Amino acid sequence: MGLIAVLLWWLLQVYFFALVARLFIDLALSVNRSWRPKGLLLPVVEVVMTVTDPAIKAVRRVIPPIRIGAIAFDLGWTVLVFAIFFLQRIVLSIA
């Protein structure tokens, strides 16, 4: 059980790093809409977006972005990060 718990914890950690990379990609796109990744960065961005999109879209269906005037607060990323931290704690307590 210990090896499975360690592997699951690391998978959750890698997914967390993918979400952090997604945060920086989204920030870059929000600051500069014309930015497009080139070269070696292109496959990295593609993998990060492909891996994180399904989970973020699922959370957005349940908790839609909150609109306040011209600003929309998207809680999908935050909910996923808290879920990963919660799941990592459960995995550590089981192991």
> pLDDT tens digits, residue range 10-19?
999 999 999 9
Residue 95, pLDDT score: 74
d(CA 33, CA 35): 6
Residue 72, pLDDT score: 84
d(CA 68, CA 65): 10
Is the predicted pLDDT of residue 1 greater than 70, yes or no? no
CA distances from 22 to 17, 46, 84 (A): 9, 10, 15
> pLDDT tens digits, residue range 28-87?
988 988 888 888 999 999 999 999 999 999 999 999 989 998 888 888 899 999 999 999
Residue 70, pLDDT score: 86
